[in-house]
Structure 1
């Protein structure tokens, strides 16, 4: 939708001037005919009276008339093109009136007094409407370097209320702001018991149309209060990660269900006390650095631009559930060492296939240092969170609505052109039809 002609423009100063243009062009065509005929006759007479050839006079008259006809054809073609542009993607009358109502209700216009001392609209903002397909429509707010520009960049909640749809995405430029709405939600993934399926790609499906590409969007931050569905989503991620034939290391300082995985994977992969958690993060960091030594510093193995996929390395994930509990229980030295290990993994791990998933109820600077958070390409907030918590996860809170569905929230993936997080319903594990432990055993 880069072409401004794809949008039907609406303002309070809209006038249906195309009919006037048609009649004006018709009157011009009719009235200009007689002066042209007179001009042709006058030129013919002058040439003949001056002793010139009548043949030459006729040729000149024909050329003049041909030029006149060409000009009329050109003008009518321009009119037809203009009319076609004006009606292309024209929305329904209700939409046009709704956008005009929106402009008026939000006072996005200026008034003045006319010659009869009546108050009239002097200037109105312009909103564009386009529907590129059956599932998406866009409202574009045009900026004109006036007092309305800032307001036009912050219409998230008002336009959602007007349309009845949550804002799917937003594109803010210096000349316009696009508000993108999706009329159909992405389908939620429901996991039931099934046969083991291997995943040899770098994609982890998140819903019917959205995937987490770990190679391009490494590392995840997951925030969610108790009862938000965070644990179920982590269980889903573990299943999907195991499908990738990946090694999974789990740190669970809360000693909740995830810590019980040590009965199946051993303490080599699962830790719950602070000392062993620090050990696991150190071991994962060493795996990463050893890969760098073998595949980047070794001239025999090194290939410029290659990633872990090209070298045939299996991915390695470290899943850290509840950083806040770890900070509360660990002494300063162990906490600092663990955060340093995680920071190095997050800054360097993508190329060698080492990824981190950090989970917390309180995504504040004490639990997640800023340098960690800013390098997490995938960020999720499940359940209803405070504006401050949303700000810590996404950097903004504008347009985020109340969450009523369990396991739902907001998600942001870096590198997809998103300027704001999107509403998201996390995959659902139907525990009546699936046994989580039996499911992950399939991939051992």
Structure 2
């Protein structure tokens, strides 16, 4: 057991004047210099008082302004001075709210009132402030128990936690949250954690299912597309866009072929297929030689599956009068939300506000991660973050330090205090394109019999010239899945996918279905030749092997397409 716990600096009465004290400290060297100058030129000052007086007065005024400016910059930029300012703010708060004790002391036949503050300590780092208040039944105890929202506003921070530590109650306030913002390149999945800020992540296994709320123009779509960008690299993503708007255009991108749904019938079928997928995966897990009770899908080397719905309320509005479709959809949703975690099936819902009219409260409570962007009304925050945040002050901030900020909101685990959130920065104004970024994501092969439940993707019919029709049919009949070719040649699928990605960048297109990459005899020859070039080059560079093979065949930029 510790005999002493460091709680930070104790708040004193004189701390309310700290800004003035530090200003005087900065000014004092100038005052000494001016006084010394006056002493050296005392006789001249007596003879010519006006010129010397103007000069000294100007020096005093300049030194006052200059020291005030230095003082202001230090309080804004330096952590030490920010700590002093927090002491000043807290001291003034205690005094102005009568949270102090008065003792009467007799001095020289006079009675003087001496003000003393209760034991209040503050500890501050770059990103966190901890304030500890003494309890022990003192006269201010009841008021000290409910200061979270007050401290949050006072320090322009984010109230995160309240704990009882022996004789004290301690409040944790997060500050400077925007400094923890990351860029889209830093949004990655490590293990089962999707990094959203430097110190904020979504662990989709421990916190299954994500609920996103936000009004129009708050940055909800950009957050969704950022999340898709990270998840599509490590798992399978089904995208449902009942509004047929931003996300509907992703169906043209290879990695999402056959996995984007817009009509109500297709979306309901998507949920149905994923329920069947989940059940087959559970069956496969239970019959596996590696089966262990309580283990989830990662134990069996299975990839996660995400079902993302943008504007669930729009979908419910489409089937508002069709009670059979409503019942069917809610049944599938309930199964996935309640049973999907262990099988690796996760739901992501985006809504302007998670109204109980569109999603049952019992189901909503099973979305363990909550995220809002933009500004919501108080009822919207209540629906998003629940009773645990009833007293939280949800601040509306459109600008920080004079700069307009988008993508600001709040994030929390269900039932916990919400914290300030800044969505990853996406440089759209510098030419970043989500569609280009998605196009570079390699396609994952469907491995496992549970994927057989998904319907084969059928691309839109294209007009074929009669002269080319016979040749096209012949080429189609010669194509086979990449996995079949890999097994025949005893090659590794990840290596072949890497080479195909490099060839695609050079304009050589491979046909893809929802479950496989198809190769024709010429493409098989190319792949084998590239592997041969790689071996001859000392196994140093796949890009160089690809380049040498393309030059040898005179291909590139659209030639040699399947």
Q: SS state of the match for residue 6, structure 1?
A: coil
Distance 1:92 1:440 in 2: 45
Distance 1:321 1:150 in 2: 45
Deviations 1:144-168 (A, max 9, x none): 45775554343234323433x3125
Q: Is the 8 A contact 1:224 1:385 kept in 2?
A: yes
Q: If the length of structure 2 is used for normalisation, what is the TM-score?
A: 0.56
Deviations 1:384-421 (A, max 9, x none): 1111111111122513211312111111146xxx9421
Q: Between 325-334 and 232-241, report the one with greater CA deviation.
A: 325-334
Distance 1:183 1:198 in 2: 23
Q: Is the 8 A contact 1:137 1:181 kept in 2?
A: yes
Q: Is the 8 A contact 2:177 2:421 kept in 1?
A: no
Q: SS state of the match for residue 172, structure 2?
A: strand
| 2:183 is the alignment partner of 1:182 | no
Distance 2:123 2:190 in 1: 39
Over 3 Å counting, the alpha-carbon distance change for 1:156 and 1:106 in structure 2 is same
Q: Which residue of structure 2 aligns with residue 359 of structure 1? A: 350
Larger RCO, structure (CA 8 Å, separation 6 or more): 1
Aligned-pair CA distance for 1:373 = 2.0
Aligned-pair CA distance for 1:334 = 1.9
Q: Is the 8 A contact 1:379 1:393 kept in 2?
A: yes
Q: Which residue of structure 1 aligns with residue 323 of structure 2? A: 332
Distance 2:222 2:197 in 1: 15
Task: State how 1:245-256 maps to structure 2 within 5 Å.
Answer: 246-256=235-245
Q: Is the 8 A contact 1:168 1:423 kept in 2?
A: no
Distance 1:321 1:344 in 2: 20
Q: Is the 8 A contact 2:159 2:171 kept in 1?
A: no
Task: State how 1:187-266 maps to structure 2 within 5 Å.
Answer: 187-191=180-184, 201-244=191-234, 246-264=235-253
| 2:274 is the alignment partner of 1:280 | no
| 2:425 is the alignment partner of 1:428 | yes
Instruction: Give the root-mean-square deviation of aligned CA atoms.
Output: 3.5
Runs (5+) with no aligned partner, structure 1: 15-88
Distance 2:179 2:83 in 1: 26
Q: Which residue of structure 2 aligns with residue 62 of structure 1? A: none
Q: SS state of the match for residue 185, structure 1?
A: helix
Distance 1:269 1:251 in 2: 8
Structure with the higher fraction of residues in helix conformation: 2
Q: SS state of the match for residue 317, structure 1?
A: strand
Aligned-pair CA distance for 1:7 = 3.5
Q: Which residue of structure 1 aligns with residue 152 of structure 2? A: 160
Aligned-pair CA distance for 1:198 = 8.7
Q: Is the 8 A contact 1:140 1:179 kept in 2?
A: no
Task: State how 1:13-28 maps to structure 2 within 5 Å.
Answer: none
Runs (5+) with no aligned partner, structure 2: 16-79, 399-404, 444-562
Distance 1:199 1:161 in 2: 34
Distance 2:309 2:11 in 1: 51
Aligned-pair CA distance for 1:210 = 2.5
